[in-house]
Copies of this chain bind each other. A is one copy, B any other.
Amino acid sequence: MRPIDDAVCPASSFSAAEREAVYHAIMTRRDVRSQFQPDSLPDDLVTRLLTAAHHAPSVGFMQPWNFILVRNAEVRARVRDAFVKANEEAALMFEGERRQAYRSLKLEGIVEAPLGICVTCDPTRSGSVVLGRTHNPRMDSYSTVCAVQNLWLAARAEGVGIGWVSIFREGDLKEILGIPDHIEVVAWLCAGFVDRLYEEPELAVKGWRQRVALEELVFHDGWGQQGR
């Protein structure tokens, strides 16, 4: 085994062009519902996306995630049905015009996208006491979300659109995919090639909600302190 100090190596900042590429992925990433092309994603590309996800930070290095790749159209149709049921329940939670606006939005591309990726979190992955999770039991699912975001940004660079669908009864997804009780479903991702994306988040373009000014969200040294 090499001495530990040897494992620390020079890590410079990126060139301007490289930095720009990272920001370009971050700023142009979209939650895609309608622009998916039907072509299936090559296996090596999917492996690159999953490798990116697998290199997310995880609490205590527990790597609590699993990835269920769903290409089977029949399975995706059942998942879509589970969405439709939950989405009708969701619509009824909104009132008046807002309900109408909600119903006019297309919120998923489960069947159109050639690949579904169910991302799960196994809280038992490395025993009951986990370094870094001792005081915040949600840290394992937070690690799993970091994996989702890594995958999403890698996908943008590959010309692949991702849509995160969260309108399900978790039990329905578990039943369809045979997921054990103790596993948490974190995300259903629709994945497929795209060559067009919204310039701004679709919900902003469609008037649902606008971007908040960053300055309003930043405080200094304590909550609510906006001057510096």
Identical chains in the assembly: 2
- Whether the Cβ atoms of A72 and B221 lie closer than 8 Å is yes
Decide if B14 touches A21 in the complex (CB within 8 Å).
Answer: yes
Name the B residues within 8 Å of A47 (CB-CB). Answer: 214
Main secondary structure, interface of A, reads mixed
Going nearest first, the 8 A-B pairs with the smallest beta carbon separation are: A13-B159, A18-B21, A11-B197, A21-B21, A149-B149, A145-B145, A90-B134, A61-B203
Interface residues of A (CB under 8 A from B): 4, 7-14, 17-31, 35, 47-48, 50-52, 54-57, 59-63, 65-72, 75, 86, 89-90, 93-94, 102, 105, 107, 126, 129, 131-136, 138-139, 141-142, 145-146, 148-150, 152-154, 156-160, 164, 166-170, 177-180, 183, 186-187, 194-201, 203-206, 208-212, 214, 217-224
